[in-house]
Chains A and B, each alone.
Chain A
């Protein structure tokens, strides 16, 4: 029975339960709605929730467990001999699943009867042909053990689905019976529904948190795996980044310091561009600009935030890099070898961060009470004195928070670095040299033919984890600063 049908049946039971529960509650007081604890619809909803939620949760749980059980059982059926030398159990199992799907579609297309698909067959070519006729994909010739396994796979899944549907419907009916029994005027259906709504909201919030947790866990396991293959001290304190691409382990130098240095150097250049420009733009917009200018300029500035970073990367590669090379390159001051450099990526990243800083700071400056400005003007201060000495100090915690958020954004940026800063990992003070960052190296370690058992690939997870910890610390610090000083002026 397809899941859709099961869903519709449970929905029908829920709808029926709603109507019955509602009318039973109304009947219990002889139709006088005022004597009921809750509105009539709450009694109906109570039954519907009790039908739907347990059945739904049960189905999800079953669907998660069934494939694991079926795969394990079927996989044990395949004899060692049936697995070719250049193959593996996993590949054979994939073939089994394909053939099972093929049998399904052959039965659905009328190419064979359900009985034919179920019983053991000797004429394997015939079976192969029938599956192919039905549009199924068969890569190699079907062998007897594989066909057996596929048939077993189908049978187990079929029984499993059947049992699941039956149980789910039973659970739904049980829920209906439970809810309908409760439907009396005295029952506090409204409170029960309220609880369910709270559970729903908690569930939504938990999914977000659990996802974060899942991401961290997936990083942690691979990071631990990496540190088993590569010494942690060499990773954290190594000053050389030279992964070998041919050899396996041992010959690679995977020191994170050049990458962290590149990350921070580029971020600092970016912040040196974004913070003054963004802050001054915010001050102009919130304090000096007329309403009309503000209504046009602010959205325009925020358009910058909507540009995909790969476009910024192109801007760095095609415009900023050559421009800098003209001034600082061989024909100019001679400090720069190529267009890709810390300066190129930093400048462009700074432009990307301007709307971040300006938009957040603008909101924060606007939140400074007008009374403070009036107080300053009333003492004979000019506008810029007022801003410098009263408005900015009052807004400072929020502005620092905005800058830290921009910093964590800069640290996590990838595309601009890939296109603008080059790929060479080096420890250098010259901002016109090519450097690279943690994120860019994660990309290069994992793209292409990555073998997830080698330290060269696993190092990406350790890099990701390092970055995650750094940006997390920055975000926590930003939130802490913003929260600590915020209540003071409200």
Chain B
């Protein structure tokens, strides 16, 4: 099932590269956190980044929407292109970039506002809605896509912080979806969730693939196998192996990948 699915996607979108990273280096002060990473990430595909803690997968993810700019000691080198445009070029506004490349974080981080205002945050900032009615529409659509609409439709004015952990994370996904990004970055989105909420979010990720390129960092190899079509294995700042998820998990080429997925390292 998974194999068929992946093959089909590769068949359709093989040429459609969303992100092209070449020789990316990331430094935290003197610490060389990402070394020579080159990877092509496909559109309308879920790509999983796996690897042991501290291997740099989150750091690399954050350099895709220049979130590393907010860390003063962090330095990114190399060439990262989104649809052929160098995202680190001086003419690219990181704020505009982040609107195109949305992000969902490890810990649910709803703003201390109502559920409605949480989702409407991005559209308001970017002026995506021309009136109250249109904004309502965006909010409802986003909440529906995040599979949380039925649970919150009667209390859109309630505080987003009052929801349960799983609901908060889906609210954060709805918030990210509301700005109509082209790519969605998810940094261990299920690590703070229970199995039921995790299943809901995973189902959601599969649906989001219809419209976006989704990149998910995860510690759970089962999760990577369940949701992704492509998998990249990071180890000690290097991209060790990148390929179809089924290949990585059934037939890894690198011994380090094999050791990791069989539980011998990491």
To the question of whether A and B form a pair in one complex, the answer is yes
Structural contact, A378 and B112, CB atoms closer than 8 A: no
The residue that B176 contacts in the complex, of A372, A378, A381, A389, with Cβ under 8 A, is A378
The residue that B105 contacts in the complex, of A374, A385, A489, with Cβ under 8 A, is A374
Structural contact, A374 and B98, CB atoms closer than 8 A: no
Is A380 at the interface (CB under 8 A from chain B)?
yes
A378–B109 alpha-carbon span in the complex (Å): 11
Structural contact, A374 and B70, CB atoms closer than 8 A: yes
CB within 8 Å for A377 and B121 given contacts A372-B109, A372-B111: no
Structural contact, B98 and A379, CB atoms closer than 8 A: yes
Structural contact, B125 and A385, CB atoms closer than 8 A: yes
Structural contact, B98 and A380, CB atoms closer than 8 A: yes
Is B88 at the interface (CB under 8 A from chain A)?
no
Structural contact, B109 and A375, CB atoms closer than 8 A: yes
Is A371 at the interface (CB under 8 A from chain B)?
yes
CB within 8 Å for A381 and B95 given contacts A393-B112, A489-B112: yes
Structural contact, B111 and A371, CB atoms closer than 8 A: no
Is B65 at the interface (CB under 8 A from chain A)?
yes
Which of A369, A375, A379, A390 is packed against the most chain B CB atoms within 10 Å? Answer: A379
How many A residues, CB 8 Å from partner? Answer: 22
Structural contact, B102 and A374, CB atoms closer than 8 A: no
Is B96 at the interface (CB under 8 A from chain A)?
yes
CB-CB contacts of A291-328 with B at 8 A, as 1s and 0s? 10000000000000000000000000000000000000
Q: Across the interface, name the chain B residue whose C-beta is closest to A290.
A: B72
CB-CB contacts of B95-109 with A at 8 A, as 1s and 0s? 111111011110101
Q: Across the interface, name the chain A residue whose C-beta is closest to B161.
A: A488
Structural contact, A371 and B95, CB atoms closer than 8 A: no
Structural contact, A394 and B111, CB atoms closer than 8 A: yes
Chain B, 99-132, CB within 8 A of any chain A CB: 99-100, 102-105, 107, 109-113, 121-122, 125-126
Structural contact, B67 and A378, CB atoms closer than 8 A: yes
Min distance, Cβ A309 to any Cβ of chain B, angstroms:
37
The residue that A393 contacts in the complex, of B70, B104, B110, B113, with Cβ under 8 A, is B113
A373–B102 alpha-carbon span in the complex (Å): 14
Chain A, 446-490, CB within 8 A of any chain B CB: 488-489
Min distance, Cβ A370 to any Cβ of chain B, angstroms:
9
CB-CB contacts of A78-104 with B at 8 A, as 1s and 0s? 000000000000000000000000000
A453–B222 alpha-carbon span in the complex (Å): 86
Is B175 at the interface (CB under 8 A from chain A)?
yes
Structural contact, A375 and B179, CB atoms closer than 8 A: no
Structural contact, B172 and A375, CB atoms closer than 8 A: yes
Structural contact, A379 and B179, CB atoms closer than 8 A: yes
The residue that B98 contacts in the complex, of A290, A369, A378, A390, with Cβ under 8 A, is A378
Q: Across the interface, name the chain A residue whose C-beta is closest to B126.
A: A380
Structural contact, B125 and A380, CB atoms closer than 8 A: yes
Structural contact, B96 and A380, CB atoms closer than 8 A: yes
Structural contact, B109 and A371, CB atoms closer than 8 A: yes
Contacts of A218 in B (CB 8 A): none
Contacts of B99 in A (CB 8 A): 379-380
Structural contact, A381 and B112, CB atoms closer than 8 A: no
The residue that A375 contacts in the complex, of B97, B105, B125, B185, with Cβ under 8 A, is B105
Contacts of B96 in A (CB 8 A): 380
A371–B169 alpha-carbon span in the complex (Å): 13
A369–B161 alpha-carbon span in the complex (Å): 13
A385–B122 alpha-carbon span in the complex (Å): 11
Contacts of A290 in B (CB 8 A): 72
Min distance, Cβ A294 to any Cβ of chain B, angstroms:
12
Q: List 19 A-B contacts (CB under 8 A).
A: A371-B105, A372-B109, A374-B109, A375-B110, A375-B175, A376-B121, A378-B67, A378-B104, A378-B185, A379-B99, A379-B102, A380-B97, A381-B121, A381-B125, A382-B95, A385-B125, A389-B111, A389-B121, A488-B161
18 additional A-B pairs beyond A375-B109, A378-B104, A378-B176, beta carbons within 8 Å, are A371-B105, A372-B111, A374-B70, A375-B111, A378-B102, A378-B185, A379-B99, A380-B98, A381-B125, A385-B125, A389-B121, A389-B125, A390-B111, A393-B112, A393-B113, A488-B112, A489-B112, A489-B161
Name B's A-contacting residues (CB within 8 A).
Answer: 65, 67, 70, 72, 95-100, 102-105, 107, 109-113, 121-122, 125-126, 159, 161, 172, 175-176, 179, 185
Top 3 A-B pairs, shortest CB-CB distance: A380-B99, A378-B103, A371-B109
